[in-house]
């Protein structure tokens, strides 16, 4: 199969990062992933230059939204700035011509009704101005997470699909997160597509921890505890672009590992 593949890299020059890996895409943060400050473009040519240069180079760009974003939470002091930062991130992603923005599904408090989180996701999508596709990513842990287990993903998807702009909401499937969440990787794409109808991007990661651990700790491919055949099955079955979020020194080996087996 022809594999469109790349890695999560530094945003200073994502085109050079892709070329160094013989890759077709790059994913990166626009600023501090742990902070609330709005997106910043570090590329020397600015947003417009990055857009043009990436198009000329044939490198697709994906933006990962900051980790602090949680549009599901019942806490107004987190939810409201989360929506604002997500919109800012999407607007900046549109300025650079990104193929999409990836955001985690988030969670509600341990004592909160999950229905509150699903309703907040509906409101977030309904009130967002979509400048690029938004890809919701499954998460590894959290007792009251919106997108850890398939039953929750089904409820989340039902809420999101009722909102204006739902046609621009897609799904990002992370193999480490699924493994850590206790999901069997073989056949997972079919089970996800039965809910979402789509997988738009694969985060292809091995896991440092055992299945069901809830721990989001990535390992290089073939060096962790996730089922290697399961990882390959997800990539094959999804037929979507692939982003490695593994330790950077192993990216070349990880890409080779994938290409040899596919």
Query: Over the stretch 200-240, which tens digit does the pLDDT of each residue have?
Result: 999 999 999 999 999 999 999 999 999 999 999 999 999 99
**What's the confidence (pLDDT) of residue 1?**
66
d(CA 61, CA 65): 13
3-state secondary structure of 228: helix
Strand partners, 206: 219
The three-state DSSP-derived secondary structure of 6-63 is EEECCCCCHHHHHHHCCCCEEEECCCCCCCCCCCCCCCCCHHHHHHHHHHHHCCEEEE
pLDDT for 91 beyond 90: yes
DSSP string for residues in 164-187? TTGGGEEEEEEHHHHHHTT--STT
pLDDT for 179 beyond 70: yes
Structure pTM?
Answer: 0.98
Domains belonging to the chain, first-starting first, are 5-261 (3.20.20.150)
Q: Which two tokens stand for residue 147?
A: 């997108």
Q: What element of type H or E holds 5?
A: strand 5-8
By DSSP bridging, strand 25-28 and strand 5-8 are parallel
Closest by CA position to 113, among listed 161, 73, 81: 73
- The average confidence (pLDDT) of the chain is 97
Closest by CA position to 11, among listed 48, 52, 57, 46: 46
**What's the confidence (pLDDT) of residue 2?**
81
Q: Are 254 and 246 in contact (CB under 8 A)?
A: yes
Q: How far is CA 168 from the centre of its chain?
A: 15
**What's the confidence (pLDDT) of residue 86?**
98
What's the whole-number mean pLDDT along residues 87-114?
97
> Measured between alpha carbons, how far apart are the two ends of the chain, in Å?
6
pLDDT for 3 beyond 90: no
Closest by CA position to 172, among listed 195, 145, 203: 203
Q: How confident is the model at residue 143 (pLDDT cuts 50, 70, 90)?
A: confident
Q: Are 204 and 171 in contact (CB under 8 A)?
A: no
């Amino acid at each position: 199969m022809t594999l469109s593949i790349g890695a999560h890299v530094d945003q200073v020059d994502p085109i050079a990062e892709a070329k160094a890996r013989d890759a077709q895409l790059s994913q990166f943060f626009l600023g501090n992933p742990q902070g609330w400050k709005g997106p910043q473009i570090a590329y020397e040519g600015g947003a417009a230059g990055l857009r043009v240069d990436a198009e000329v180079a044939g490198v697709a760009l994906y933006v990962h939204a900051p980790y602090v974003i949680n549009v599901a939470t019942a806490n107004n002091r987190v939810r409201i700035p989360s929506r604002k930062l997500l919109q800012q991130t999407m607007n900046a992603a549109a300025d650079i011509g990104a193929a999409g923005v990836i955001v985690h599904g988030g969670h509600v408090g341990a004592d909160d009704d999950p229905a509150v989180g699903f309703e907040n996701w509906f409101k977030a999508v309904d009130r967002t101005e979509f400048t690029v596709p938004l890809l919701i990513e499954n998460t590894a842990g959290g007792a009251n997470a919106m997108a850890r287990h398939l039953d929750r993903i089904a409820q989340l998807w039902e809420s999101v699909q009722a909102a204006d702009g739902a046609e621009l909401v897609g799904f990002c499937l992370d193999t480490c997160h699924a493994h850590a969440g206790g999901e069997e990787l073989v056949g997972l794409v079919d089970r996800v597509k039965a809910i979402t109808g789509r997988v738009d991007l694969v985060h292809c990661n091995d896991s440092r921890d055992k299945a069901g651990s809830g721990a989001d700790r990535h390992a290089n491919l073939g060096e962790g505890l996730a089922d290697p055949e399961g990882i390959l099955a997800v990539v094959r079955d999804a037929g979507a672009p692939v982003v490695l979020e593994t330790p950077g020194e192993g990216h070349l080996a990880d890409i080779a590992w994938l290409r040899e087996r596919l």
